[in-house]
Amino acid sequence: MKRILTGITPSGYPHLGNYVGAIKPSLDLAKKDNESFLFIADLHAIIKISDAKQLKELTKGIALAWLASGLDPEKTYFYRQSDIPEVSELAWILSCVAEKGLLNRSHAYKAATDLNKENGKKDVEEGISAGLFSYPILMASDILCPNATHVPVGKDQQQHLEITRDIAEKFNKKFGNIFNIPEAVINEEKTVLGTDGRKMSKSYNNIIPLLSGEDELKKSVMKIITNSQEPGEKKEWEDNILSSIYSSFANEQSIKELQNKFSDGIGWGDAKKIVFEDLNKLLTPIREKHAELKSKENYLEEILQSNAKKVRAFTKPLLEEVKSSIGISKF
């Protein structure tokens, strides 16, 4: 049986792009005959977020969003990274095995130093925290502490897993075969366009919120940019923002029906109405579940603590085995 691990960074409130590109594929994978570990990476988040209230709200918000979207905490080990102390302890041990040169090649670190160079900074490491530099070590610990066998990654994220594999192989060679060498599950992540045609992102102010009410959802859909073609004129399906967004979430039959309406010259207002109505059907149960969960005092914390206890049944004995192998154990 595969043991699949996925991390979620609480970096913002979820939108349609998150649901289509990350939430739904992860939930579909969890439904298969696998052990699924899914954690909220709050320790990773403090690299970028220094406001305590904001981090707490984002962590809670992302957890509720995943649960409302269909995550079953009885079938998936759903936990908060900071509730597993073995992860942080293992990260230090792994940092004593990993070579600095490996971290120097990390994409996040290189991107930060390259930006400093572009901005003419004399010290290319100015403003770069040790946390950002050692980020791949903590990520490796996230994966190796529950001894995951498979990790879903996008094509541009494979380096993180390669670093983890490198560290695990080096540790196993030096101290004995303790860690699984995790394999990549390449996630063909869909890029969902925003209302302006760029990738959907809160920073572009072009998102369609996952948990907004009907009125806000309708406003977002009506903001989708279209051309000046009149009703009755044939509309091109390809290279079209509205059709691209619709195709990201609708089923094949619905897509075919709207595609035919495009050929028949449907007006943009009527087309957006169809997109809104079908999207609202998809999101209404998620919104309702979210409101229900949000109203339950202590429910979320109880779920996270219960799952953390289950996860630690894996991580505690593994860490003890690691410590014993390197000579840190009781006499």
Residues serving a catalytic function are: 117, 199, 202
Q: How far apart are the C-alpha atoms of 208 and 126, rounded to whole Å? A: 36
Structure-token pair, residue 85: 């102390």
Structure-token pair, residue 130: 């040790």
Query: Which residues on neighbouring strands pair with residue 183, listed in sequence order?
Result: 150
Q: In 3D, which of 212, 256, 221, 209 has the Cα closest to residue 237? A: 256
Q: How far apart are the C-alpha atoms of 29 and 35, rounded to whole Å? A: 10
Query: Which residues on neighbouring strands pair with residue 7, listed in sequence order?
Result: 39
Q: What are phi and psi of 8, to 5 degrees?
A: -120, 120
Q: What are phi and psi of 297, to 5 degrees?
A: -65, 130
Q: How far apart are the C-alpha atoms of 16 and 127, rounded to whole Å? A: 33
Q: How far apart are the C-alpha atoms of 83 and 305, rounded to whole Å? A: 8
Residue 205 backbone class (left: φ over 0; alpha: ψ -120 to 50; beta: rest): left
Q: What are phi and psi of 12, to 5 degrees?
A: 175, 170
Q: How far apart are the C-alpha atoms of 216 and 223, rounded to whole Å? A: 11
Q: In 3D, which of 153, 164, 109, 110 has the Cα closest to residue 131? A: 109
